[in-house]
A and B are shown apart, each in its own frame.
Chain A
Amino acid sequence: MAAVIEIENLRKTYFSLLHGKRVALNGFDMEVAAGQVHGFLGPNGSGKTTTLRTLLGLARADSGRMSLFGQPVPEALPAVVGRLGAIVESPQFFRNFTGRRTLALLARAGGVPDARVDQVLELVGMRDRGNEKVKTYSLGMKQRLAVASALLKSPELLILDEPANGLDPAGIREMRDLVRGLAAAGATVLVSSHLLDEIEQICDSVTIISRGRRVAAGPVADVLASQDKGEHLVRVRDDDRDRAGELLRAAGLTVATRDDRLVVGGVDDAARISELLGTGGVWLSELSPLTPDLESVFLTITGTTPEAGSYRPVDESRDEPWPALTTPTATTGPAAPAAANEELSQ
């Protein structure tokens, strides 16, 4: 599938008289295929917004190559801007304009028919509030208005930076449905978010950035699989727990206790656990595969797993590429460094 977004070796440094030099992007790469919903993840200050701002011509890169729809940007931005919609960093609007006027001004200047204003207000659930002033809107409503502005051009590529910021649970679900609907209609969507369960639900692929470098990328299933160690959760009667542990360890499996369950590793087939326990006279109450979620994978890959009693500085994260996940086409199973796997199991 053709790549809609391509970023290669992007570097960006900020200079400040007070704080000196700060490297925001340190050779960052990203590729987003057409028709995909692509998640863009990273800890605070890792360079997500800088990447989007640089891609959209709001910031100048020091070096590197970027393209949208196969055309180099920022040079070709005027040619491709009509095909993309974007919100970056919760855009603000004039407080004394109504939502409808705000959108109408953008639409008129962009050659978009006025009728489209009502369509996008409907899409983001703001039809009945469009004639009210922006200053009366809640944070979530402003965010909906921002998304509406990004949708005005019926874009082929939609770039959303924290689109769920300030949305209530219903709004988050609506946003999810909206993104899915756009993708189903053939649009490509790049979503930057910290709501990892949302990303896991709606995205086909992800890129994870940490300290300005890509540390992982690929289909969501592959990223999750990279941290799958074949562990299973086992629950038996409380009286049988010790006996079950002995039986499983005797068969060469790793066993750890988590609350009232056993975490069993080193087994590919769950039937083997059932067989071992049944043969030893212990009956299963529950047996389920322990698959990592995107949150735990993210924390492991970026090295930002919270530790009890300590506070991680905001800029402190792991920036070593995860070997099996540094190309979008990675599909193989676990290949992470042993140290990182240990980190995940903690």
Chain B
Amino acid sequence: MADPMRIRAKAENGKVTVRVLMSHEMESGQRKDSAGKVIPAWHINEVAASLNGKVVMTADWGPAVSKNPFLQFNVKGGKAGDKVAITWKDTKGDSRTDEATVS
């Protein structure tokens, strides 16, 4: 089971700024271990964000995204009290969803 995300969402001037920190190894598949063997790729490849249950953004990620990635985006029309949910899926099929309330 993956570690939880940290989600902060703030409403300002009719838009919600969402900041997400995800806990993930994000192994690119390019690196080798001390024995010279390639470390298999293991990274998040799908991210979906929703506001009050409605999907507002999806993203396809590749191996070039950093370890413990940080994601920031704006959503038009959100307000304080709304629920923001973020879901990621990785190449091993593991996934995690976390939710936060807009402040």
Do A and B make up one complex? no
> Interface residues, chain A, CB within 8 Å of chain B?
none
